[in-house]
Amino acid sequence: MSTLSPVDLPNSYIGRSVARPGLARLTQGRGEYVSDLALPRMLQVVFLRSPYAHAEIVAIDTSDALKMPGVVRIVTGRELAEHCTPWVGVLTHLKGLKSAPQHALAVDHVQWQGEPVVAILARSRAEAEDASDRVYVEYREIDPVVEMFSAAEPGATPIHADLGDNIAFERRLDAGDVDAAAAASDHVISQRFVFGRHTGVTLEARSIVADWNRAEQRLTVHLGNQAPHMIQNIVAKHLALEEQQVRVLTHDVGGSFGIKVHIYPDEMAVCALARMLGRPVKFFADRLESFVSDIHARDHVLDGRIGVKNDGTITFFEIDDITGIGPFSVYPRTSAVEANQVVNLTGGNYAVPNYRARTRVVFQNKTPTCQYRAVGHPIACSVTEGLVDLAARAIGMDVVEIRRRNLVPDDAYPCSGPSGIRFEALSHQASLEKLLQMMDLPALHADQEEARRRGVHRGIGFASFIEITNPGPAFYGVGGAKISSQDGATVKLDASGAVTVQSSISEQGQGSAAIIAQVTATALGVPLARVRVILGDTDNTPYGGGTWASRGAGIGGEAAFQAGRALRDNILKLAGTILQADPTSLDIRAGSVVDEVDGRERLPLSELARIAYFRPDTLPADFQSELMATRHFVPREYGFAFTNGIQASYLEVDTETGFIRLLKHWVVEDCGQPINPQLVDEQVRGGVVQGLGAALFEQCRYDDQGQMINANMADYLVPMAGEMPDIEVGHIITPTKESAIGAKGAGEAGTAGAAACVANAVNDALAPFGVVITEIPLTPEVVLNALRHV
């Protein structure tokens, strides 16, 4: 065995920016997305959705609609409930979390505008839409519970009478001694932070084709999704099937970001409908229904407090958080996780032991919220970093200096954060210094000064962050959800000497297939081009969690690496037998068995495979070759692999119009060992822009009747190329010792800190006006109101 680390192996692909396999297909329009899928006898389903945020269903009349051309079947909630059991989105480790049973189609009551009520199946989507205009639902409106503070009041009418009140979950945490720390502070600053409600707006909307084969008694679910085994488990459970009766395939997925990792009632309905009709049923959400049926996220208001001494020492953090999650906690991951993360993460990058937090998770009649890219992180980061800037301002200290003094030192690890989160090894200080090198702060300050003399207001903002990656069972498994935290990989040497890897992680464009191929090629010693990766099919991959929470590379990648090493051992055993050599004297390099010492080729893998598969008679009678190996992996030592980083934004605020122009963005992040640095950079950049969208543009806006009033792409503003800045990315590398490959996650770092540093930069730009804004999105109106120009 080589004593070199995987990175140093002579034919290593770890740490190399190689092109992802399969990209040519996508650039040529040859992708196979679920929305592209058309099966024989397939029906299209359209869901008639509730126009009201809260109402009782009095009657449903489908008689006219059934006469419409092309209509095959119309199904109501009551009828569907006989084929699909309801669910309750709770986890036992989130103590006290409660929710109500949720049906695939509403039965008796509707609880949000957009909740599916009736399914119309027709030969074409257009015909189904024609018919849905002729389905008459009589509703009796009920006053909706919309605003979260009033929903949380004692005595507020509960949305679900059986639950008693609208508080789904509450958590308090009190670490150290906040009161004593406050008393010992020179300044205590309080500030309210407001975070708009967002949604994912995956360019490919949610898409599913379910196909029940009556002869095989088997349901095939084609679903653009991140967690195929989770879907398999839940579809089987609620359709009263065995798991082996359900096969889930993901195909190419047109964007996900957490949107496609949940159980959606309309998708469950499609599975049940396919079984009821015995033929394929397709649902491809249109953009309008996506806005009111995809999960939403954020929507938090926090009252934050920070204490600081005149020497720059931060003495405590305190937050009181409230969030509105819609009428149900989403199944099976629950809608309490974001708030829980906010409590876990706030202040976690600073060496400040005194921390008090409360969060309240509140039911209301809006679209349900759940986990979306960087769950809780942007909120915790914005509050933490916003408060730190306010503390610096209070004592007249530079914002970089206060961070230098208070960020956890790089030699302090392992250690714990104030909420009890455990850090193996982070690099806040090194990341800060690297960032400063990249951005040339003195030059920026000079530019800022020069601009200010011209009446142009530019600002620089920083945000240090931590990111939760590689979660173990502590996320969901311990709470009772059948969501695997381990992943598996099977590596096979085929008869031509090529390699196939089946992995349980999934691909939505992050580069999952690429990193699996890279670690496998490295572990085995074969050229990358000889490795083919199979993902996203419960029939053809090991059991595992999928791709979410920045876990694909760190967990799925390690499983593939271990499987590759196992197969390598098997290959060398076989090679030793064929060559009558000691296996330890052999290695595999560039697809051939070679002499370990001098690298001389001894046996190409194609020849080895030929002997193993076609001439085993030439091998000793007691020797059986095993050219397929499977390994699974889950981190054991730490519940999560925390990563860290820091971002900075340079921007210009037009103080007359409130418009913000982003000039430049920098990120330094530490995801441990990058497997493919280019993919890491692009995850970071994409994540940053998702955070910039939240900072400047995106918000699901509601009226007081619980109607989403900007549910289209002309009014819900996503970030487009014209307004986004170039983003420079740098790295510090602190590998995790939990795995051989040392990789942590990188998928959410960009989103975690982008909004925070933009808000801080805006406040820096507006410092001459004495204005502080801690609300996103930072619309022109928000900026102008703060400047009191209106």
Partner 1 sequence: MIDISLTVNGERVSACVLPRTHLVDFLREELCLTGAHLGCEHGVCGACTVRLDGEIVRGCLVLAVQADGSVVETVEGLSDSGEIADLQQAFIDRNALQCGFCTPGMLIASQDLLKAGGVPSREEIREHLSGNYCRCTGYHAIVDAVEATAKAREAAR
Partner 2 sequence: MKAPAFDYLRPSSLDDAIKLLGAHPDAKLIAGGQSLLASLNLRLSQPSHLIDIGRLAELRGISVNGGVLRIGALTRHAETMASPEIAAHAPLLTQAIHHVAHAAIRSRGTFGGSLANADPAAELPACVLALNATLVARGPSGERRITADDFFTGLFETALAPDEILIAIDIPVATPDGVHGFQELARRSGDYAIVGLAAAGKRSGTHLSELRLGWFSVGTKATLAPKAAAALIGPAASLARASEMLAEDLEPHDDLQASGATRMSLARVLLKRVITAMEVAA
Instruction: List the one residue from 172, 720, 726, 737 that touches partner 2 (CB under 8 A).
Output: 720
Interacting partner of 138 out of partner 2, partner 1, none (Cβ under 5 to 8 A depending on kind): none
CA dist 638 → 485, 545, 561, 743 (Å)? 13, 18, 20, 14
* Beta carbon of residue 783, minimum distance to partner 2 (angstroms, whole number): 10
Quote the least distance from Cβ 790 to partner 2, whole Å: 5
Q: Which run of H or E residues covers position 136?
A: strand 136-141
Among the listed ranges 370-378, 419-427, 680-688, 719-727, the one in contact with partner 2 (CB under 8 A) is 719-727
Among 33, 136, 413, 659, binds partner 2 (CB under 8 A): 659
- Site track for partner 2 across 682-711, x = CB under 8 A: ---------------x---x-------xx-
CA contacts within 13 A on the Cβ side of 465: 37
Contact of residue 233 among partner 1, partner 2, none (CB under 5-8 Å per partner type):
none
418-426, 543-551, 607-615, 779-787 -> range binding partner 2 (CB under 8 A): 779-787
HEC string for 13-65: CCCCCCCCCCHHHHHCCCCCEHHHCCCCCCEEEEEEECCCCCEEEEEEECHHH
CB of 287 to partner 2, least distance (A): 7
Q: Are 647 and 377 in contact (CB under 8 A)?
A: no
* Interacting positions 69-128 with partner 2 (CB under 8 A): 124-126
**Is 661 an interacting residue with respect to partner 2 (CB under 8 A)?**
no
The region of 57-65, 206-214, 226-234, 720-728 touching partner 2 under the rule CB under 8 A is: 720-728
Q: At 628, list the tokens.
A: 């397929």
From partner 2, partner 1, none, interface partner of 220 (C-beta below 5 to 8 A by class): none
Question: Are 453 and 762 contacting, i.e. CB atoms less than 8 angstroms apart?
Answer: no
Binds partner 2 (CB under 8 A): choice among 717, 767, 771, 772: 717
Size (the chain), residues = 790
Binding site residues, partner 1, CB under 8 A: 19-20, 23-24, 26-31, 33, 35-36, 38, 126, 200-205, 252-257, 284, 286-287, 508-511, 678-679, 682, 685-690, 712-714, 718, 720-722, 724, 726-727, 750
Q: Does 385 engage in binding with partner 2 (CB under 8 A)?
A: no
To partner 2, the closest distance from the beta carbon of 662 in angstroms equals 12
Counting beta carbons within 10 angstroms of the beta carbon of residue 125, is it exposed (0 to 12), middle (13 to 18) or buried (19 or more)? middle
Residue placing its CB nearer to partner 2 in the complex, 50 or 185 = 50
Cis peptide before 777 (omega within 30 of 0): yes
Please say which residue, 515 or 603, places its beta carbon nearer to partner 1. Answer: 515
For partner 1, the closer of residues 489 and 688 by Cβ is 688
**CA-CA distance, 730 to 394, in Å (whole number)?**
31
Which token pair is 456?
């142009």
- Nearest-10 Cα torsion for 364, 366, 371, 376: -60
Q: How far apart are CA 51 and CA 74, in angstroms?
A: 19
Query: What angle in degrees, to the nearest 10, is found between the helix axes of 399-406 and 377-395?
Result: 110
Q: Which of 168, 643, 673 is nearest to 374 (CA)?
A: 643
Report which of 403, 178, 173, 400 is spatially closest to residue 307, judged by C-alpha positions. Answer: 178
Which of 240, 720 has the CB closer to partner 1?
Answer: 720
The residue range among 357-365, 399-407, 544-552, 656-664 that interacts with partner 2, by the rule CB under 8 A, is 656-664
* Shortest reach from residue 338's CB to partner 2, in Å: 25
Decide if residue 59 touches partner 2 (CB under 8 A): no
Indicate which of partner 1, partner 2, none lies near residue 446 (CB less than 5 to 8 Å, by partner kind): none
Q: Which stretch binds partner 2 (CB under 8 A): 2-10, 169-177, 236-244, 775-783?
A: 775-783
- Look at residues 663, 665, 642 and name the one whose alpha carbon lies nearest to residue 653: 663
C-beta of 497 vs 511, nearer to partner 1: 511
134 binds partner 2 (CB under 8 A): no
What number of other Cβ atoms are within 10 A of residue 672's Cβ?
A: 28
Give the one entry of partner 2, partner 1, none that residue 727 binds, where binding means its C-beta sits below a cut-off of 5 to 8 angstroms depending on kind: partner 1
The number of residues that bind partner 2 (CB under 8 A) is 30
Among 723, 725, 771, 772, which residue interacts with partner 2 (rule: CB under 8 A)?
Answer: 723
Q: Cα angle vertex 581, ends 579, 584, to 5°? A: 125
Percent helix, strand and coil across the chain, each to the nearest 5: 30, 25, 40
**Measuring CA to CA, how many Å separate 671 from each of 8, 341, 604, 706, 750?**
18, 19, 36, 40, 12
Residues that bind partner 2 (CB under 8 A): 124-126, 129-130, 133, 286-288, 656-659, 697, 701, 709-710, 712, 714-715, 717, 720, 722-723, 779-781, 784, 789-790
